[in-house]
Every structure is written in structure tokens, then in C-alpha cells.
Copies of this chain bind each other. A is one copy, B any other.
């Protein structure tokens, strides 16, 4: 069966016996039209099942009501929840969302963005956990023609709006929570290739040194931190690391790792939080689903997303470039508790 040709404004005009201009006017309701002709046009529209062609409209008004979103992938619910927030905000402003996954590959990321630009999006939101080998000139060039918002990126580029959490502060808060419970020695679990891990590690080092503890031997890197294997990889790594450490608590750079740590403890017959405490970071849905429920720092991804959408739209409408930093808030659940008594001596 062949597709029916879509009706155009000309078809409607003909059927209604008016000019295309008039049809345009009733569709957009931007100029007065006599009641009677309006209904005639509307009848024709219904009859032909006419839907205006947004592409044509936008070509000629040189505006575009779609925005592009680039994420590394959907494996970590973190990104899904951010997208949820973006989508929700955009819907209210009648924007549409073009989604691209960059697979954690900077080259892919730039490709996605070019594709988005050629699709004439009116702005782009990028979540790029790793801005280390970011091609800065690419972005400075890009932003001259297309408004840009980064989420949680730690790489300053002029005129790029930004929304993120103060992860250094969040890390301090998390560490303080642990210390208030009496934990002195804390194992720091991070992944590879993400600015946010580095920021957290730096913070960790400072805090530990401030407590007179040499941090080096308390840091473990489990590799890729946002993949389908992150939980298992973390568990495997900690199965080796946990028995050798004298730490009484584990701080994980995200919840995937947190759950991996939890599973490692179970496998090792360590009671959580009685024998050892665990903290995650992000507060993805998973954190609530496991048992015991994971204590974590909430990044409120939904808000991250909706704020980013808001900034982008402001920028599109010639508002200023802004940089918003949100607070992480501690969500105490069931994996943190008082440090166990020292048995030695």
C-alpha cells in the first residue's frame, strides 16, 4: 500500500476557495480573519487532514523549535533521568528533542553535534563526562552560531552556559557524614576518564590529608564507570581490595559503583552498615531499589535536565549566558552507620 500524499497549504486553500495566505492566517491565528472564512478553512483542514509542515515553516522563518541533546549513552540511569528533565521542560515550550548518543567517544560526540547543527537545531545540550581531550576550538567555533549548554562538565568555554552540581562540595559533605559516624579510614572508589571522578579524588585527598591520613593507598580505580559492567567490575575489584584494607567505609563516585561495593560486601560476608559503611553518589533510582538502600548524594538529575533546558531556551531567545551550580544533598538511607569498634590492641 502506498502512502497518501500529505496535503499542503495549497490543497487546503483550493478546497476552501481562498488564498494560501488566508489559510496561513487561520493556522497561525496571527492576523484577523472573517469568522465565516475561518470556519470554511477549518473545515477544509479537517477534511484533508492537513498538518502544517514545520520544516517549511521554519525554513522560511529561520527559526527552529527543535533542540539537540548529546549524551554518552543510556546505560546509567543518570542520563535517562536528565533527559526526562529536559524533555519535560521542553514540552512546555513546544520544543522537540533530537537525541544522540556519543558512546563516550569524543569523535562521535563532535559528529553528533555537526549532525545536529545541520539539522538546524536552535540549541544543543551536551553531557560529556570527559572533557579532557575536548577540542576547545570546535566548541568555541560552534557556540558562535548555536547556543550551547553543558551539563556537569568541568571545562570552561566562554559563552557556553552550564549547569552542574558542586561535586567537590558534595564530596566534602559525603565525607563529613562518614566521619561524623566515626569513620577515619575511607576507601575511595572511582572510575576512569571522567572529570567528575578527578574532582572528587582531589577533594578526597585534601580532606584525608587534613585528617592526617595518607590518601594514596585508599584510592582504587575500577575502570569504565558508566557502562553495563560497572557494577560487576566494581564488585570484582573490591572483592580483592576490601580484605586488604583497614578502611571502615567506602565512598563511591557513583551509585553504580556503590551497588557494586554493596554486592562485594555481601559476597565477603561483611554486614552493611555494621561492619562497613557505603556511600554512593548521584541518587539514581537504583540506589533505592537495592537492599539495604544506598546512602548517597542526590544530584537531582531531573532538575539538572530541566535547568539546562531552561538555560538553553533563555540563550536561544537572546538571553545571557549563565552558569548555574546546584547543591548535592545528602540522602541518608541504610548503608551508612557508626564505625565499628577497633578490635586491635
Contacts and interface: CB of A to CB of B under 8 A. Distances in A.
A83 B96 contact: no
A276 B64 CA distance: 56
A1 B119 CA distance: 23
B3 A144 contact: yes
A73 B288 CA distance: 19
A97 B64 CA distance: 16
Contacts of A77: 77, 80
A100 B86 CA distance: 11
B231 A53 contact: no
B51 A55 contact: no
A262 interface: yes
A181 B333 CA distance: 36
Nearest to A50: B118
A259 B259 CA distance: 14
Contacts of A6: 145
Given A80-B74, A96-B98, A97-B98, A228 B3 contact: no
A4 B120 contact: no
B290 A289 contact: yes
Q: How many copies of this kind of chain does the complex include?
A: 2
Nearest to A58: B55
Interface residues of A, number: 62
Contacts of A289: 231, 256, 259, 263, 286, 289-290
A56 interface: yes
Interface in A270-295: 285-286, 288-291
A87 interface: yes
Contact of A54 (B84, B120, B146): B120
Nearest to A79: B80
A323 B339 CA distance: 58
Interface string A252-263: 000010010011
B288 A52 contact: no
Contact of A120 (B53, B114, B141): B53
A101 interface: yes
Interface in A124-149: 141, 144-147
A66 interface: yes
A117 interface: yes
B228 A285 contact: yes
14 contacts: A1-B159, A1-B321, A51-B114, A52-B118, A53-B59, A55-B58, A55-B119, A66-B119, A74-B81, A96-B115, A97-B100, A262-B291, A266-B291, A290-B290
Given A3-B147, A88-B101, A256-B289, 17 more contacts: A2-B318, A3-B144, A4-B144, A4-B145, A49-B141, A51-B114, A51-B118, A54-B119, A54-B120, A74-B80, A80-B80, A87-B101, A91-B101, A97-B99, A98-B98, A262-B291, A263-B291
Interface of A: 1-6, 49, 51-56, 58-59, 64, 66, 73-75, 77, 80-81, 83-84, 87-88, 91, 96-101, 114-115, 117-120, 141, 144-147, 159, 228, 231-232, 256, 259, 262-263, 266, 285-286, 288-291, 318, 321
